[in-house]
Amino acid sequence: MKQRSNPNFPTENEDQALLSAIQDLPVRPIFIMGLHRSGTTFLYDTVAKSFPLAHLSLYHLLYFDRLLSNKQNGTEQRDKNLLNLFFSVQGISDRNIDGTHIDADAVEEYGFLLRKKTGTFKLNDSNTDLFKNLCRKLLAVQTDKKAVLLKNPWDTGNAQRILKYCPEARFIYISREPIAVLNSMLNALLAYIEGPQDYLEILLDNGKGRSAYRTGYLAWMVLRGVRKVLGRNISARLARGLLAKDVARQVVVYRKEIAALPCDRAIEIDYTSLVADPVATMQKLQGLLDLTVINNAPSNELKQRTQLNPVLQGYEQALQHLIDTHDGSS
């Protein structure tokens, strides 16, 4: 039985009386864009450590309704300590699906905040004010920052709508070989159904427990049951086709979107080049961001699997055919 630890997450908007003081802060978001499992977290972490940009950490996400109050009262570290203790007691040290380290300062996606508050992972007409308040809060509580850096793979394909909401937005896209993305997705799915997902449940909980994500939890239970009956290899083979179709669709959306954006609004970063030489990659971003690198040696931890899952051996041609089909090329 797990020990108890109360992280003291806010249950009401404790910042309400302080919101008027931040309404004049500029909303100039910079978006990390890319497919799920394409390296967006590594890019986000690297850019956040290299430029004077406010960013979204787990602390900011889970204590969103108390950020301004904590800043005013000097109690930010108190809640960070509570969060780290909570993770420790729960036995959560990484994201489980990929081994990425977790603590209060780890970067996370704003889509989880949108979902908690408005029921959708994507930026749309109903949550624009929430998003802008998020940007302003992050600038208010992280001093000496020039803009806000955010990432949310669910919004890849949503750039034109985002520009309508935030005309000053800039976009950093990350590209990765589709077969590598599919491999990462497949391995993440297998890890997802092979063990408890305490971390993900924390991100999805809006204060109502599993009732807040009942459909997803039931799907997890079904997939977990299938995995137990059929075994890992057969489950992986069954999942391969479904995931490949999703990757193909996302690749086509990604390519069309970046082709439609002007070069002064977007830049594309190659995942392999980023991993090989992050410093040189960061220097390429200075023109788009109109900012100077402030840390030439960002310390990042990257855990990646370079070996293909056995069910993907020789699958590149089939995946490319799916991409061509979605693109209307065949």
Task: For residue 291, give the CATH number of its domain.
Answer: 3.40.50.300
Q: Tell whether pTM > 0.95.
A: no
Residue 216: give the domain boundaries: 179-261+306-330
151 within a domain of the structure (yes/no) = yes
Q: Are residues 324 and 220 in the same domain?
A: yes
Q: 117 and 34: one domain?
A: yes
Is the pLDDT assigned to residue 4 strictly greater than 80?
no
Q: Are residues 295 and 192 in the same domain?
A: no
Q: Are residues 204 and 237 in the same domain?
A: yes
Across the chain, mean pLDDT equals: 90
Do 121 and 255 fall within a single domain?
no
Q: Cα-flanking dihedrals φ and ψ of residue 96, to 5°? A: 75, -50
In the beta sheet, which residues pair with residue 33?
173
User: What does the pLDDT average to over 266-280?
Assistant: 95
pLDDT at 1: 42
Q: For the chain, how many structural domains are there in total?
A: 2
Task: Identify whether residues 238 and 324 lie together within a single domain.
Answer: yes
Of 88-102, 153-167, 179-193, 266-280, minimum mean pLDDT range: 88-102
Statement to judge: residues 254 and 266 lie in one domain: no
Angle between helix 316-327 and 178-193 (nearest 10): 110
**What is the sign, positive or negative, of the torsion defined by CA atoms of 313, 314, 319, 322?**
negative
Does a structural domain hold residue 76? Answer: no
For residues 86 and 187, is the Cβ–Cβ distance under 8 A?
no
pLDDT at 192 over 70: yes
Residue 80: inside a domain: no
Res 266: pLDDT: 97
Q: Is residue 325 part of a domain?
A: yes
- Flag whether 275 is in a domain: yes
Give the mean pLDDT of 303-314. Answer: 82
Neighbouring residues of 9: CB distance < 8 A, sequence distance ≥ 6: 62, 63, 207
Please tell me the distance from the alpha carbon of residue 126 to that of residue 101, in angstroms, as a whole number: 33
Mean pLDDT of 149-178: 96
92 within some domain: no
β-strand partners of 31: 150, 171
Q: Is the pLDDT of residue 288 over 80?
A: yes
Query: pLDDT for 239-248, tens place per residue?
Result: 899 999 999 9
Whether residue 83 has pLDDT greater than 80: yes
Report, as an integer, the average pLDDT of 104-120: 95
Residue 11 C-beta-side C-alpha neighbours within 13 Å: 5
Phi, psi of 41 (to 5 degrees): -65, -45
The stretch 218-240 carries a mean pLDDT of: 79
d(CA 37, CA 60): 23
Say yes or no: 275 and 244 in one domain: no
**Is the pLDDT assigned to residue 257 strictly greater than 70?**
yes
What would the mean pLDDT of 150-165 be, rounded to a whole number?
96
Residues 192 and 327 in one domain: yes
Same domain, 128 and 161: yes
Asked if residue 19 belongs to a domain, the reply is: no
Same structural domain, 210 and 324? yes
Specify the amino acid at residue 232.
Answer: R
Q: Are residues 252 and 319 in the same domain?
A: yes
Q: Which of 137, 129, 130, 133 is nearest to 76 (CA)?
A: 137
